[in-house]
Structure formats: structure tokens, C-alpha cells
């Protein structure tokens, strides 16, 4: 097909791109027409595209990046007309328990405790707001501190306590960080309680938080939809039905509720081009197939050790604060196709968005004459998400002719942004601006190939920056020390330690004579209301998963407890939701004056044991040395045990931790590894 053959005013883009693939003549292309008209009024209101930080600890390493890299990453995520330009940020309300890739601290570890400066979600929300004051904020708990359940692993026995706890978090966000939380959830992917949801609404209102909207129940469409249809009081207090991984479909009951329908957690896919294909497909099809008006990715940024569960399932990757290296992955630019050209408050046009040759489109308007059309032609193999399974479908090259009617009849040109995922061929194009399309008598045509995304829009504000390259990747430093004296305000955790059970916080003991004023302290003293299978021991991992040989040294302090105990470990091979099955080489000392060497965190695989003379309320120095198949341990610099044979694991992180949920302190941590 030659350019001259195209009528003036029809899309001339076919000259350089979008033309029929070799061997397929233009005449053979499937051709179909689509009408975009607002005469019968707008469709559903669009609520925005967002991403989750947390659920859990997914932004852990981000906070330790040096400037300017940290700000560059934040710009790619939040800055309008720049990169992903997200409309919404959903954060975990830390509950001290394991929530997938780590634990996040609660603002109330204990009943009489309140602190709104723990963790990094406050900071992240502020950084997001700084860049986009209109960004919507959502909070959702995965776990709760133990006192909420008064000993039961359940947050609804005392719904007034739980509501008070959640509302405190919202009030604290305002009081200490001037953050307005827009939406609040119930309990991630777990049961809901109608009584609790009503009490939550009541408690919000009582504290002047009428504007905070409730999302329920961050699990499946049912049973919440069914219950909303039966219980009119509940129907009156729930604003949004949030379903997870809906596979772009909704259910009749959800539609009958007439509530806003959101995919309140989705994506969760490795962030290569197939991940980008998944994201492109669901961003459109969650609306086209399932009437959903918001899609929220888990997770925002892969800032956790890659070997933890669901490594690199973020919109971009920033998992090396020690080198400053990060990667703006393809899903960022797929996000931009929608986010840079729409805003929450726009409306979808009422049109069946299925393309005849496969793929989909959505059309949105601000009601002021602006129009944005997003088209995707993702093929099955190239757009599978991690879940649910994707039924087979086919997509072929096709010509789409759009007729603009109603308010859009007078549109003369549309800006064009294009991506093509190249997959194996490696020649992808991501978010490139092409020549504008001339609309002639309300119509234009587009030749679509497969695995493409187009945005056609009246808005001229789109941007793809030519930003500086980040520094090259580097492994975690092989000689690493932290005496916990130099802190990284405003954070409560030491750099690069990734808590997997329990919470390890900076601690100041002002009455210490001098050696151990600034320490790291494990502070969770009761098993939290769990979301995953937290270990019975606490553990925080650090370093390079590929490490084989290492010497880990750390000063330890068991706080007044006869059955207390702590460990240092190497070759630690697991974490996240699998933390209970963690193996490694663990060197434990106990307050009863004994020590053990075990091959697992659970302490069942005993490799060596004996007397150490360690006691509580005193500082000791532990050294664990692992070389090849042999390990040895020193106490206060003197050999305690040696020649313990290690067969597996062959490599892993270093770690510190405690025997149970108990207070303990750590100081002068040092690893030398290879």
C-alpha cells in the first residue's frame, strides 16, 4: 500500500508504520468501523489507574537510594506528563506481619503505642503528592498487630478496636503528614465483616472523615456483591466494590449493586514485555469486558530483593540502592498511554470496545470536548498475566475506522502515541509520539498490527523524557558494615535489612554507658494477626542471594528474658510468604547459656549444640564463618564451635533474628562475603 493511495485526511501513518505485514495486501485486511458518540450521555466515570506499595514491603529498598536517583524513580512513577503519571497510590497500612515480600511496621505495635513515623509509606505518599497534588491515596491493611485481636488471629471480634486503629492511621496521616486519605479498604484478600464495615463508616464520620470512601472487600466479586444486595445499610456505606485479579470480567450481582467496580489489585506479573502486554490488555479490557473503572497494579516498583516471592512484579525495577541502578520497564510506558491522557473524573464513552480482529479500545472524555482513545491489540501469548488463566483468543492485523460524532465531530486532529511490543525480535517501540492524525469529516482509519498500543487524543500534553541513564548495576557490597549510628531520616529501619517476620527498628538507649546507644531492635513481641504464614521466629535478611562464603559478625543483646534467644545466619535461602521454610546456617545463642547451630530457621535441623555462657541483659559478639562445606562460630572473638559440615543451601543472604516474638537488640553488624 503506497502513501499516494491514501486519501488526504485519512491516516497517513501507514507510510512508515502500521502498514500491512509483508505478504498481506491491504485489501485482505479485516476492516471494521466504530462509532464514538456522546449524544446519549457519558458512560461510567473513570476513577484512575494506580499501583500498590506494600503488600508487602515492596518499596523497601527504594528509600535507600541516593539522590538524584531516588527522585528520578519517583518522577517516573508519579510526575504528571512524564512517565507512569499514576492517578492513584494504594499503600499498605503496616500491621507488623508478613504480607508477601516482608513485614511493614504498624503505627501501633502495642495497645498504648502510637507513632506515625515508622516505615516508608508516609514518605512515599508525600513524595507522590509533592509531584501530583491530585493523586488519590488508598490505605489497606494486610495484617494487624496482635492486640487488635486480644489474642485471637482475627480482626473482627472487637470491631470497634479495629475501626479505631484504622481511623487513627487516617487521622495520623493528616495530623503528622498533611495527607488526605481518599479511600480505605477492609482486609486484603480475607474475610470481611458487615458489622465492622458499618462501624468503620460510623467511626470515620464521627471523626469528620465523611469524605473518605470505603472499598470492599479486596478479594473476589462475591460474596460482597451478594451481601450488598441483601443488606441495604451495608449498601449505603460501601462506595466501591474492589475485586482482585478479575480476569477482566465481573459478575451480574456486582453490576446489580450499581456500585463503582474496580480491579483493586491486578497485574502481579514479571515486568518484561509479556508483563507489559498483560498490563496493556487489562487496562482496557477491565472496562471493556468487566465495567471496571479503575485498575491498580501490584506492585508499584520492584524494590525488594529479586529472589523473594514475585520478584520484579513491579511497574519498574529499583532493587539496587547500593549502586543507584534502576530500570524503567515497559509497563511504565504502557501505563503512560492511559494515565497521561485521562484523569479521574473523566468518563468512558458508551461503546462496545471489542475490535473485530481482536484486541480492544476505550474512549474517554473530560466532558469539555477532549477525547482520548486507547487501543490495544495484545496477542494471547504475549499478554498473559500471572493469574487468572487466560482463555485462548486470536488477534489479527486489521484496519479500524472510527467515526467521531456528537461533541467530537468537530475534532480536526488527534495526537498519536504508539508502542509496539517486539518480544523475541527485540525491536520494541515504547510510547513514541507519531505524526498527528487528521480527522476528515469526523472520521479516520488506522491500520493495526498485533501487540500494539495506540493513544489518539486531543490533549497535547503527552511527554516522554529523554532522561539520563541510571548508573550501571553492581552487586551488593561484599564488605558491608552498619553500626546503626548514622541514620537515614525519616526512616525507622536500617538500610537494606528486609524484615521477613517481626520488625527491626532503630533504637536509642540513652542510659547506655556509650557502646550501644544506637542499636537495631526487634520490637514485635506477640505474633500478629497474620495474612501469610509468619515464622515463629523473627528474621531480617540482607545482602546478595548469590553469596556462598561469608563471615557475619554482630553484637547481640537479649533483653531480660530467660527463654530468649537470638541468631546470626548466612546462606539464608527464603523469605516472604515462604519464610517458615527458610533454610540456611543459623548460629543461635540463648539466655539459658546454651548455643545451637541449625540448618533452618525453625530450628529443627540441629547441626551442633553446647554451652556458651551467654545470658540476657548483656552484650555479646557473635561471628558466623561459612567457607565451602564448613562452618564455625565465635563468641566474643573466641572459637565456640567449628568444622560443622554444611551441604545445603549452597548460597543465600545473611540474616539476624530472634528465637520468638521478643525484644532483642543488634549492633555493629558486619559481613564479608564472596
Ligand X SMILES: *[C@@H]1O[C@H](CO)[C@@H](O)[C@H](O)[C@H]1NC(C)=O
Residues that bind ligand X in the complex, under the rule CB under 6 A: 255, 288, 291, 352, 366, 368-370, 381, 422, 425, 427, 458, 509, 511-513, 548-549, 559, 617, 627-628, 642-643, 665, 674
E strand map for 543-618: 550-558, 565-572, 583-590, 594-600, 606-611
Closer by beta carbon to ligand X, 15 or else 171: 15
**CB of 99: closest distance to ligand X in angstroms?**
28
Phi then psi for 564, rounded to 5 degrees? -75, 160
Closer by beta carbon to ligand X, 108 or else 558: 558
**CB of 387: closest distance to ligand X in angstroms?**
18
What is the Cα–Cα distance from 482 to 497, expressed in whole angstroms?
10
Is 265 annotated as catalytic?
Answer: yes
Closer by beta carbon to ligand X, 207 or else 235: 235
Please check whether residue 490 is in contact with residue 120, taking contact to mean a CB–CB distance below 8 angstroms.
Answer: no
Question: What is the b/e burial string over 541-551, where b = at least 16 CB atoms within 10 angstroms of the residue's CB?
Answer: bbbbbebbbbb
Closer by beta carbon to ligand X, 512 or else 592: 512
Closest CA to 457 of 397, 376, 369: 369
What is the Cα–Cα distance from 199 to 237, expressed in whole angstroms?
10
What is the Cα–Cα distance from 474 to 235, expressed in whole angstroms?
53
**CB of 181: closest distance to ligand X in angstroms?**
26
| 3-state helix/strand/coil string of 634-656 | EECCEEEEEEEECCCCCCCEEEE
**CB of 422: closest distance to ligand X in angstroms?**
6
What is the Cα–Cα distance from 162 to 166, expressed in whole angstroms?
6
Closer by beta carbon to ligand X, 220 or else 548: 548
Beta-strand relationship, 638-645 and 583-590 = unpaired
Helices (H), 214-315: 224-230, 232-237, 252-256, 273-288
Closer by beta carbon to ligand X, 298 or else 361: 361
**CB of 582: closest distance to ligand X in angstroms?**
21
Closer by beta carbon to ligand X, 66 or else 629: 629
Which residues, other chains included, contact 4 with Cβ-Cβ below 8 Å and sequence gap of 6+?
none
**CB of 250: closest distance to ligand X in angstroms?**
7
Beta bridge partners of 620: 556
Closest CA to 124 of 356, 343, 300: 300
Closer by beta carbon to ligand X, 315 or else 355: 355
Is 189 annotated as catalytic?
Answer: yes
Which residue out of 189, 222, 307, 672 is catalytically annotated?
189
Which residue out of 92, 121, 265, 329 is catalytically annotated?
265
**CB of 350: closest distance to ligand X in angstroms?**
8
Closest CA to 336 of 183, 520, 146, 463: 463
**CB of 229: closest distance to ligand X in angstroms?**
14
What is the Cα–Cα distance from 591 to 500, expressed in whole angstroms?
23
Beta bridge partners of 433: 417
What is the Cα–Cα distance from 555 to 666, expressed in whole angstroms?
6
Residues labelled catalytic = 189, 265
Amino acid at each position: 500500500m503506497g502513501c499516494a493511495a491514501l486519501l488526504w485526511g485519512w491516516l497517513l501513518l501507514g507510510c512508515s508504520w502500521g502498514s500491512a505485514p509483508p505478504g498481506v495486501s491491504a485489501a485482505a485486511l479485516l476492516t471494521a468501523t466504530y462509532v464514538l458518540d456522546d449524544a446519549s450521555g457519558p458512560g461510567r466515570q473513570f476513577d484512575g489507574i494506580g499501583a500498590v506499595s506494600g503488600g508487602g514491603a515492596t518499596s523497601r529498598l527504594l528509600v535507600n537510594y541516593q539522590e538524584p536517583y531516588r527522585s528520578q524513580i519517583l518522577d517516573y512513577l508519579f510526575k504528571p506528563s512524564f512517565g507512569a503519571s499514576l492517578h492513584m497510590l494504594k499503600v499498605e497500612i503496616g500491621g507488623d506481619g508478613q504480607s508477601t515480600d516482608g513485614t511493614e511496621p504498624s503505627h501501633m505495635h502495642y495497645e498504648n503505642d502510637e507513632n506515625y513515623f515508622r516505615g516508608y509509606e508516609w514518605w512515599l505518599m508525600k513524595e507522590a503528592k509533592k509531584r501530583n497534588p491530585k493523586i488519590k491515596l488508598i490505605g489497606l491493611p494486610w495484617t494487624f498487630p496482635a492486640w487488635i485481636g486480644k489474642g485471637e488471629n482475627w480482626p473482627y471480634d472487637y470491631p470497634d478496636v479495629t475501626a479505631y486503629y484504622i481511623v487513627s492511621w487516617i487521622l495520623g496521616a493528616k495530623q503528622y503528614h498533611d495527607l488526605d486519605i481518599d479511600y480505605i479498604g477492609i482486609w486484603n484478600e480475607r474475610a470481611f465483616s458487615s458489622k465492622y464495615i458499618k462501624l468503620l463508616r460510623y467511626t470515620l464520620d464521627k471523626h469528620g472523615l465523611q469524605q473518605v470512601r470505603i472499598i470492599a472487600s479486596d478479594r473476589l466479586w462475591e460474596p460482597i456483591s451478594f451481601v450488598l444486595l441483601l443488606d441495604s445499610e451495608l449498601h449505603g456505606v460501601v462506595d466501591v466494590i474492589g475485586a482482585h485479579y478479575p480476569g477482566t470480567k465481573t459478575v451480574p450481582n456486582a453490576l446489580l449493586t450499581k456500585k463503582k467496580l474496580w480491579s483493586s489489585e491486578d497485574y502481579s506479573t514479571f515486568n518484561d514485555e509479556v508483563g507489559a502486554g498483560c498490563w496493556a490488555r487489562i487496562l482496557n479490557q477491565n472496562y471493556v469486558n468487566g465495567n471496571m473503572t479503575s485498575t491498580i497494579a501490584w506492585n508499584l516498583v520492584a524494590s525488594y530483593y529479586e529472589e523473594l516471592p514475585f520478584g520484579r512484579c513491579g511497574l519498574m525495577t529499583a532493587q539496587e540502592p547500593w549502586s543507584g541502578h534502576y530500570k524503567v520497564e515497559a509497563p511504565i510506558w504502557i501505563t503512560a498511554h492511559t494515565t497521561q491522557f485521562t484523569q479521574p473524573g473523566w468518563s468512558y464513552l458508551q461503546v462496545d470496545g471489542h475490535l473485530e480482529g481482536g484486541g480492544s479500545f476505550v474512549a474517554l472524555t473530560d466532558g469539555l470536548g477532549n477525547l482520548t482513545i486507547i487501543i490495544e491489540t495484545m496477542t494471547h501469548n504475549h499478554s498473559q498475566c500471572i493469574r487468572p488463566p487466560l482463555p485462548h483468543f486470536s488477534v489479527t492485523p486489521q484496519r479500524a475506522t472510527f467515526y467521531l460524532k456528537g461533541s467530537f465531530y468537530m475534532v480536526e486532529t488527534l495526537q498519536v502515541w504508539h508502542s509496539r511490543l517486539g518480544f523475541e525480535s527485540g525491536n520494541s517501540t515504547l510510547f513514541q509520539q507519531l505524526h498527528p492524525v487528521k480527522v476528515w469529516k469526523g472520521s479516520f482509519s488506522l491500520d493495526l498490527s498485533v501487540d500494539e498500543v495506540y493513544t489518539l487524543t486531543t490533549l497535547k500534553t503527552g511527554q516522554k523524557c529523554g532522561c539520563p541513564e541510571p548508573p550501571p548495576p553492581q552487586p551488593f557490597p561484599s564488605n558491608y558494615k552498619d553500626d546503626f549510628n548514622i541514620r537515614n531520616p525519616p526512616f525507622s529501619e536500617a538500610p537494606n535489612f528486609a524484615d521477613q517476620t517481626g520488625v527491626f527498628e532503630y533504637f536509642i538507649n540513652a542510659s547506655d554507658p556509650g557502646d550501644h546507644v544506637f542499636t537495631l531492635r526487634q520490637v514485635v513481641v506477640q505474633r500478629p494477626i497474620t495474612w501469610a504464614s509468619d515464622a515463629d521466629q523473627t528474621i531480617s535478611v540482607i545482602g546478595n542471594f548469590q553469596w556462598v562464603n561469608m563471615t557475619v559478625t554482630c553484637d547481640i543483646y537479649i533483653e531480660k528474658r530467660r527463654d530468649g534467644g537470638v541468631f546470626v545466619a548466612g546462606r539464608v535461602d527464603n523469605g516472604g510468604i515462604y519464610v517458615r521454610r527458610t533454610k540456611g546456617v543459623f548460629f543461635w545463642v540463648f539466655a539459658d547459656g546454651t548455643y545451637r547451630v541449625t540448618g533452618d530457621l525453625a530450628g529443627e535441623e540441629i547441626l551442633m549444640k553446647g554451652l556458651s555462657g551467654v545470658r540476657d541483659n548483656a552484650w555479646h559478639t557473635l561471628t558466623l564463618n561459612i567457607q565451602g562445606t564448613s562452618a564455625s562460630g565465635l563468641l566474643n572473638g573466641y572459637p565456640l564451635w567449628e568444622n560443622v559440615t554444611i551441604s545445603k543451601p549452597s548460597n543465600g543472604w545473611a540474616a539476624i533474628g530472634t528465637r520468638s516474638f521478643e525484644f532483642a537488640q543488634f549492633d555493629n553488624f558486619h559481613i564479608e562475603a564472596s
